[in-house]
A and B are shown apart, each in its own frame.
Chain A
Amino acid sequence: MIRTELKRGTAELAVLSVLEEGPLHGYEIGRRIEEQSGGTLRYTLAALYPLLYRMEHRGWLRGDWETGDSGKRRRCYRLLQRGRKMLKPMRAEWADLFHALRRVAKVTHG
């Protein structure tokens, strides 16, 4: 299991990446990240929501209350242009980091 501090750093990229696929509410964001990472990345509410609010204030996302088919009101997050622009450099940064780690720490896949 990946340590909490290490996971925190990945959260911004993970949230932006799943929102790139379309608008989602908080629970669904967490579920998609968990599912797509094969259960490796699991965020608690304490990790996920402060991040969502911070990204919203930075203008990367926008949260709107919507009523779903079930009649439940949920806050749906949409990726904004500014957030979309952040994705490319963020992905490049992480790719550089993995590349460097692979060389230094002899980390390999599998």
Chain B
Amino acid sequence: MADWRAYVREHLGSLHETQVQQEEVASELAGHMEEYYEALRVRGLGDEEAFAQTCARAGKWEELRRGIISAKQEGSMADRVRQFWVPSLVTLACSWGALAILIWAEVRPLTTHPGKPGSVILYVPWLFCLPLIGALGGYLSRRAQGSVWRIYVAGLFPALAVVPVFLLTFPFAFVADPQVAPDFRFTALVATTISWVILPGIALCLGVALQGLSKAQGANR
């Protein structure tokens, strides 16, 4: 009897998947071919005829390979949307929405050096909201079976999204205003990064971590 697994491996080629995933697909297809072959033999077909008909039933291997790759890619794209983009955009919208409400309500931020551009600005109620928002992002990504990396990036997205904005706007602002001293520019960059990236990032990260912890404890019970 033919070694169907070896036959499938030889004809299928690479699926651009991990070794384990590639083997799983090969095992499944080989199992199908083996059962088809056995059914033909039971019906009374000779070995050669049954083998030929089973091989014909596979169809075009290149078509099968491309079909599987395309199906898996469609799946990974859908996974990326559910595990990363949806939770990330939810956390971003909630975070900015909460900040907008505080500004609209004229809540005054705490500032380390009032009136100076190098001052760290803290919207304290907003910072207290962020762990909840981070936890929500983490929960949505975890529910969609996201990896640890995706869960944390989705939860931290509101802080991470600000980084490219800074990277683009600060150099432009520094070039546009040559009157500002270089040490002052650096202080302003550090203060802004602490206010809008580092502290919110810590708060969001705390929320994701606590949510993960409570989920793990729930599973242990």
Which chain A residues have a beta carbon within 8 Å of chain B's beta carbons?
25-27, 30-31, 44-47, 49-51, 53-54, 56-58, 65, 72-75
B70 — which chain A residues lie within 8 A by C-beta? 50
Shortest B124–chain A CB gap in Å is: 41
Whether B31 contacts A50 by the Cβ 8 Å rule is no
Main secondary structure on B side of the interface with A:
helix
Count the A-B residue pairs with Cβ separation under 8 angstroms: how many? 72
> Quick one: which of A54, A73, A74 contacts B71, CB cutoff 8 A?
A54
Shortest B78–chain A CB gap in Å is: 6
Is B75 part of the binding interface, using a Cβ–Cβ cutoff of 8 Å? yes
Is B47 part of the binding interface, using a Cβ–Cβ cutoff of 8 Å? no
Whether B36 contacts A50 by the Cβ 8 Å rule is no
Whether B59 contacts A74 by the Cβ 8 Å rule is no
Give B68-105 interface residues, CB cut-off 8 Å to A.
Answer: 68, 70-72, 74-76, 78-79
Report how far A23 CA is from B65 CA in the complex, Å. Answer: 25
A44 — which chain B residues lie within 8 A by C-beta? 57-60, 64
Whether B75 contacts A53 by the Cβ 8 Å rule is yes
> Quick one: which of A30, A50, A56 contacts B67, CB cutoff 8 A?
A50
Known: A27-B32, A46-B59, A51-B71. 8 other contacts (CB 8 A): A26-B32, A44-B64, A45-B29, A50-B68, A50-B71, A53-B71, A56-B75, A57-B71
B: contact size bracket: 20 to 34
Output the nearest chain A residue to B70 by Cβ-Cβ distance.
A50
Whether B29 contacts A49 by the Cβ 8 Å rule is yes
Interchain Cβ contacts under 8 Å between A and B, 26 examples: A26-B32, A27-B35, A30-B32, A44-B58, A44-B60, A45-B59, A45-B64, A46-B59, A46-B60, A46-B64, A47-B59, A49-B25, A49-B28, A49-B68, A50-B67, A51-B71, A53-B68, A53-B75, A54-B71, A54-B74, A57-B71, A57-B72, A57-B76, A58-B75, A58-B78, A75-B31
Whether B59 contacts A53 by the Cβ 8 Å rule is no
Whether B78 contacts A49 by the Cβ 8 Å rule is no
> Quick one: which of B33, B63, B75 contacts A54, CB cutoff 8 A?
B75
